[in-house]
Structure 1
Amino acid sequence: MFKSILVPIDLVDTALAQPAIATAAKLADSYDGKVRLLHVLAITPVMLAEYVPADFDDQQRQSAEAALAEIARTSGISAQRLSSSVRQGGIYHEILEEVAAVGADLIVMSSHRPAMRSYFLGSNAGHVVRYAPCSVLVVRDCT
């Protein structure tokens, strides 16, 4: 049923991603599917560009790739069924672009408990749920 599962990860809070990774691993095992981990880097604001090193974006990408590799190594998903990607841009936009790029048929993502501002402004998970061309499973840690 689910052959290609995308798991967006915020590297600032990797503990939040663990339930989503575990859920994706179980689903991939059940359906003989593949899992793709994704992290989206924010675009460096123009007004800050002159204050950061010229290779700042490259450094950020390399750090993110290394962190994703470590998460992949400890995920319990076999290397043949796991890949990762780092994109740069708006979070929900890049998640949807990655869905199209890899042909994902399921997104498994973690979400914080909604705060009052999320009800009015929306969240990245909310945008993904609304606009994704595939099924979306939002996993919350209930502990």
Structure 2
Amino acid sequence: MEKHDIDNDPTPLISAAPIGDGDEDLLHWEAAIIGPPNSPYSGGVFFLDIHFPIGYPLKPPTIIFKTKVYHPNINSDGCIGLDCLGPLWSPVLTISKLLLSICSLLTDPNPEITFDSEIAHICKTDRSRYEDIAWEWTCKYASDYN
């Protein structure tokens, strides 16, 4: 169902598909997010790993950034601090909606829910510096399909 929705209603800036062809592989996907325009992530391509639990959609998928990202809501292991992937999970959320939420998080970080207090502090107190560092990381890790 998720694959059908993505194939029939493509969304700009995001793509996702199962890895491989077998039924077991339907639980493991790869996604890509194009960095949103007018953000320090613009022009970058960010790859994510998606694992669906056996209880999906009653349980949320695990979504991890494979591309390094300088962001207060994404830790060094690629884990994402997004409430809809945890306590506010709803079975009506689709992968497309989750990826759009992650894309929005890139544009509008939430330094109140953070994995990295130093990045959150810079984001809150010196937005220009935060965006400069995020742009440097985008150029270093998310350009030319690194």
TM-score normalised according to structure 2 size: 0.25
Q: Considering Cα pairs closer than 8 Å and 6+ residues apart, tell me whether 1 or 2 has the greater RCO.
A: 1
Greater strand content: 1
Greater helix content: 1
TM-score normalised according to structure 1 size: 0.25
